[in-house]
Structures are given as C-alpha cells and as structure tokens.
C-alpha cells in the first residue's frame, strides 16, 4: 500500500506504553488461531507483498530499511514468550497509519495496517485506501463500496481487510512454519480466552 523509507536513528522504547499493548492484535494463542482460519475469497496471480517485499522475505532485520524508525517494540513476555511486535506510526496525506508487524522467534506471522483520520473514515476515504491497495493486484476487481474482503496469491499468502470503526489491511503468510507455535496454539489456543485477565464478568454481575 504505502511505502516508507529511512533509517532508524534511535532505539525505540520497549516498555511502559499501554497504548501499544491495547492495539496489539495478538493478545493470546487463540488470536493466532483465529487469524489463521481466515480464508481468501478472491485469487490474484500477483505475489502478495508488504512494503514491497513478499511475505517470506519479511524479517526483523529488514524492517528499519523498508519502514524507517520503529515507534515501539512489544516483547510479549511472559504471556507469549517469543512473540514480538514492531509498531510504526506514519502519516500519509490525510491518513494516519498504525502498522504492526508480528514475529514468533523471528518468523513472520502477521502484518496489519490500521488506517484512521482525525475523524471517522468516510466512504470516499475508504475507497481511496482500497483503490491504492488494489493497484498492486490489477487482475482483481473488488465491487465498489465493498471494504471487507480477502484474497490469496498462488503461494497461498493472504490479504484480508476489516471494516470496523477503523479500516484494517492485514497480511498473513499461507501457514505457520513453527511446529512449536502450532503446538502452543493446539494446547492454549481457545478463541474464547479472556484477553484482559483471568476474571470474567459473571463473577461480578
């Protein structure tokens, strides 16, 4: 979609930011399980890319060269050891972008771009975002006014969008490569896990 270049000049903070912990799309193993149940509705002959790189080329080492300064690094200890999230905050025209790139032990598992403006995104603004995305995949025709859809490439890599209060553009590899992570998801990946602690509402109301 949008590309940003530059070299990081300072070490990003790794602690004391509740904002980034709230924005983190993978709070537990159940979230990964849910992400990897997403399927593609369309298929493109063009390889899916994130910031100009195919998904199998995304590593922590290249992020600064393609994205610029890291805004925050979330080390997800002790809840999900090995899970690390790199956050980038960017401005593009009238749009504000919060980009998060997820790795498990340096293996790429998800990238997501949250698009906002000073106000709630309107339909015309969403059309601009989707049009920019689809320039990279000219063989696909997404009906006008549809902002939530998905597609895969010939490798099975996936792009899926979420039209909620904000617009999310998500990039996910075909499959999880880590056998260890697959086992952790199998053992702990209930999609009904409470993200905010062990307590449940029925204890108090």
User: Is 2 inside any structural domain?
Assistant: no
199 assigned to some structural domain? no
Does the residue 94 lie in any domain? yes
The number of domains in the chain is: 1
Q: Is residue 203 part of a domain?
A: no
pLDDT at 19: 93
Q: Which helix (H) or strand (E) holds 172?
A: strand 167-172
Residue 157 domain-assigned? yes
User: CA 177 → CA 92, 102, 106, distances in Å?
Assistant: 33, 14, 11
In a domain, 191, yes or no: no
pLDDT tens digit sequence for 156-184: 999 999 998 899 999 999 988 888 888 98
Q: Is residue 24 part of a domain?
A: yes
For residue 66, the enclosing domain spans 18-142+149-185
CB 58 within 8 A of CB 110: no
Q: In 3-state terms, what secondary structure has residue 71?
A: coil
> In this structure, is residue 99 part of a structural domain?
yes
**Residue 192 pLDDT greater than 60, yes or no:** no
Residue partners of 145: CB distance under 8 A and separation at least 6: 123, 127
Query: Of 8-12, 13-17, 60-64, 76-80, which range is least confident?
Result: 8-12
For the chain, the first-to-last Cα distance in angstroms comes to: 45
- Which is more confident, 190 or 52? 52
* Tokens found for residue 200: 């449940």
Banded pLDDT at 6 (limits 50, 70, 90): very low
What is the sign, positive or negative, of the torsion defined by CA atoms of 28, 85, 83, 66? positive
Q: Is the pTM higher than 0.95?
A: no
């Amino acid at each position: 979609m949008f590309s940003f270049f530059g070299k990081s000049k300072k070490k990003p903070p790794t602690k004391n930011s509740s904002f980034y912990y709230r924005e983190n799309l993978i709070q537990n193993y159940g979230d990964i399980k849910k992400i990897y149940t997403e399927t593609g509705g369309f298929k493109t002959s063009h390889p899916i890319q994130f910031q100009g790189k195919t998904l199998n080329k995304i590593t922590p080492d290249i992020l600064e060269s393609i994205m610029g300064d890291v805004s925050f690094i979330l080390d997800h200890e002790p809840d999900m050891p090995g899970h690390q999230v790199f956050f980038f905050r960017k401005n593009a025209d009238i749009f504000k972008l919060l980009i998060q790139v997820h790795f498990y032990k340096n293996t790429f598992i998800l990238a997501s771009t949250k698009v906002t403006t000073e106000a709630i995104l309107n339909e015309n603004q969403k059309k601009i975002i989707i049009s920019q995305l689809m320039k990279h995949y000219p063989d696909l025709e997404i009906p006008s006014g549809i902002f939530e859809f998905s597609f895969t490439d010939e490798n099975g890599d996936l792009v899926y969008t979420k039209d909620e209060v904000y617009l999310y553009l998500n990039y996910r590899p075909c499959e999880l490569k880590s056998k260890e992570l697959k086992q952790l998801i199998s053992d702990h990946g209930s999609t009904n896990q409470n993200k905010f602690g062990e307590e449940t509402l029925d204890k108090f109301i």
